[in-house]
Structure 1
Amino acid sequence: MRKELLLYFMTKKELRKLYKEKREGISSRDKLKLDDLLLIRFQQLAFENVHNLLTYWPLAGKAEPNTHLFSGYLRHMIPGLRISYPVCNLNDFSMKAVIIDEDTTYTTNDYGITEPKDGRPVAPSELDLILVPMLVCDQQGFRVGYGKGFYDRFLASCREDVLTIGFSYFPPIEKIIDTQAFDVPLNYCITPEDVYEF
């Protein structure tokens, strides 16, 4: 109970530090199992109206869930699926979605994010499903990311009915105490044990 109370009163900065450490403490062997469980939960959702996906490349050395599993599953299930990756502008913390294919070459930016080197941008309004990076979220769907605001800015320009999904090895906490008006909540958080809808 005391531990839950402490989490309730933690800021994004404190939660970011705690959950980075928790995630990086997962062994490689356990992470493989947890990623498989995340995929099983992900497969329980319906994706009938998804034609344009924005996903992301897991950060090397940050123990992020293996998003390649999820995009690979969707590619198999949805013929003609268009997949895009974010390309970040490190000056103004904006980003765009760039369509990838089997010929795409990639580069790594100064934050260690793997991005398409070039390619055709897709309008935010065309995206149907966005996989959103996160460390942890709360029971309202607000998430703790890496603190630069790339995704909240981008999501504000997407359709209201775009589907947003985050993946976490940990269940949602009760409340993030310092959410802002510009924070955009997720539709779903998928953990190894459950699918949370907000």
Structure 2
Amino acid sequence: MNKQAARRHFRSLRQSLTSAERNRFDDLLLIGFQSLDLPFIQSVLTYAAIDAHGEPPTGLITRYLQFLNPELQIAYPRTNWTENSFDAIATGDDPVFQLSERGIPEPPEGEIVAPEELDMVIVPLLAFDRHGYRVGYGKGFYDRYLAQCSSHCLLAGISYFEPLDKITDAGEFDVPLDICITPQNVYVF
């Protein structure tokens, strides 16, 4: 399946989930994440899930990571739409968000965390394949950012759905995930 078809298909699938299904899947995603043998994580870039897009909530995972390391530095993207890029902004324990011009919850202030300082990035996705390639929202923001992260940085995805066999138009600049958790499985690439 190509990226455009995957975006349409998985957006529709996510919107068709009931609240009860989402709640059950969220619990299973957390259980899957807790089963990982993770290295010590000192800093993580995550994102504030957009309810209207049906994205899985990342707060479950960041709270678990904070349980493992109370000193965890958590950052969220703040987008620069002119340059099609973003910065990772450290927010502290109780982040405050404002909606960007495109309706994305972002931290209005905070310290910029350099990509090479991150130990983990929780990457948003609509779909992924059995090789770790993901389908995002189509602007390439994350692939450009992930290319700047150090080789020890763990790239993680969470998805309500199982992987595609192959994203047929994954390109040379697409950065694959290291792991992806679904309600049924944990995939390591």
- TM-score normalized by structure 2? 0.97
1:20 aligns with 2:20: no
1:46 aligns with 2:37: yes
Give, in angstroms, the shift of residue 111 of structure 1: 2.2
Whichever residue aligns with residue 181 of structure 2, its letter is: I
Whichever residue aligns with residue 122 of structure 1, its letter is: V
Give, in angstroms, the shift of residue 133 of structure 1: 0.3
1:190 aligns with 2:181: yes
- Structure 1 residue matching 2:77: 3-state secondary structure: strand
**Who wins on radius of gyration, i.e. which is larger?**
1
> After alignment, is 99-108 or 124-133 more displaced?
99-108
Structure 1: distance between partners of 2:43 and 2:142: 17
Structure 2: distance between partners of 1:89 and 1:176: 28
Contact 2:41–2:65 (CA under 8 A) maintained in structure 1 = no
Give, in angstroms, the shift of residue 102 of structure 1: 4.0
Give, in angstroms, the shift of residue 77 of structure 1: 1.4
Contact 1:104–1:119 (CA under 8 A) maintained in structure 2 = no
Whichever residue aligns with residue 30 of structure 1, its letter is: E
Structure 2: distance between partners of 1:38 and 1:123: 28
Summarize deviations over 1:20-69 as a string: whole Å, max 9, x none: 00011000111001000000000011233210011110013111101111
- Structure 2 residue matching 1:71: 3-state secondary structure: helix
Counterpart for residue 11 of structure 1: 2
Structure 1: distance between partners of 2:64 and 2:149: 24
Structure 2: distance between partners of 1:116 and 1:18: 30
Taking the TM superposition and a 5 Å limit, the aligned residue runs for 1:152-191 are: 152-191=143-182
Question: Which of 112, 115, 119 matches 1:124?
Answer: 115
> Structure 1: which 5+ runs fail to align?
1-9
Equivalenced residue count is 189
Contact 1:104–1:117 (CA under 8 A) maintained in structure 2 = no
> Structure 2: which 5+ runs fail to align?
none
Structure 1: distance between partners of 2:37 and 2:78: 28
Contact 1:133–1:166 (CA under 8 A) maintained in structure 2 = yes
- Structure 2 residue matching 1:61: 3-state secondary structure: helix
Structure 2: distance between partners of 1:92 and 1:12: 23
Counterpart for residue 77 of structure 2: 86
* Percentage identity across paired residues of the two chains: 44
Whichever residue aligns with residue 158 of structure 2, its letter is: F
Summarize deviations over 1:54-101 as a string: whole Å, max 9, x none: 111001311110111110111111121100001111112111100011
- Structure 2 residue matching 1:13: 3-state secondary structure: helix
Structure 1: distance between partners of 2:95 and 2:159: 28
- Structure 2 residue matching 1:165: 3-state secondary structure: strand
